Amino acid sequence: MASIYDEMVEKTKEKIQQSFLQLLKEKNFMKVSVRDITEAAEINRGTFYLHYLDKYDLLDQMEEGLLLDLEKHLERLQPDVLLEEAEKGNISMHAVEVFRYIEMNAERFQVFLGGNNHIGFHKRLKRFFVDHFVDKMVKNENFFKGVAVPQDYLSSFATSAFLGLIEQWLENGLAETPSEMAEMYIHIIFFIKNL
């Protein structure tokens, strides 16, 4: 059970993070100052520095938290199961959960992938996705059997397809459901597989 102090710390951190997200919607990361963040969060600088070293640490902790939670969903995705389910005409619930997680955290993904954040979340997400899912899929002998393309290029292509799908979905205002997005991604993977 969390103490009152722990709850207060979490509320303060959430307030700082939400204020930071709002600022990143309005201006470039490089132009956001700690003063801007503390004023928006209605806290003093000392409170900010209790939780973060600087704005880079704040951004890093926010991105890291997003990726750690995403990792939990990606770990459940197994290429063999995904392939087996898709061949039966079913969509893996684990694939749906990945898109549901993105939907629940759409604001953060939009901001971190958007034009005002030039710190490299896109590259970080790409590398993360390769490390936690695509490499498993590409190395799986059943998944891309007979594809005469080096693994690193195949990984890059599959990752770019996934990131492009996410970015387009966010740009479209999450018009499709997580299930529809999972189904689309699986169709794309099968398209690649059958090229």
Tokens 């995904």 map to which residue?
Answer: 82
CATH architecture of the domain with range 1-52: Orthogonal Bundle (1.10)
Q: 9-50: per-residue pLDDT in tens?
A: 999 999 999 999 999 999 999 999 999 999 999 999 999 999
What tokens were used for 103?
Answer: 């939907």
Q: CATH 1.10.357 in the chain, residues? A: 62-193
Residue 60: pLDDT above 90? yes
Contacts of 15 (CB under 8 A, 6+ apart): 41, 42, 43
Q: CATH 1.10.10.60 in the chain, residues? A: 1-52
Q: 119-139: per-residue pLDDT in tens?
A: 688 888 988 888 877 767 767
- The span from the CA of 97 to the CA of 74, in Å, is 9
Residue range 62-193, CATH number: 1.10.357
Q: 77-87: per-residue pLDDT in tens?
A: 777 777 777 77
Whose CA is closest to 28, among 101, 134, 111, 86?
Answer: 111
Averaged pLDDT score across all residues of the chain: 87
pTM: 0.85
Return the SS3 of 177: coil
- The span from the CA of 188 to the CA of 10, in Å, is 40
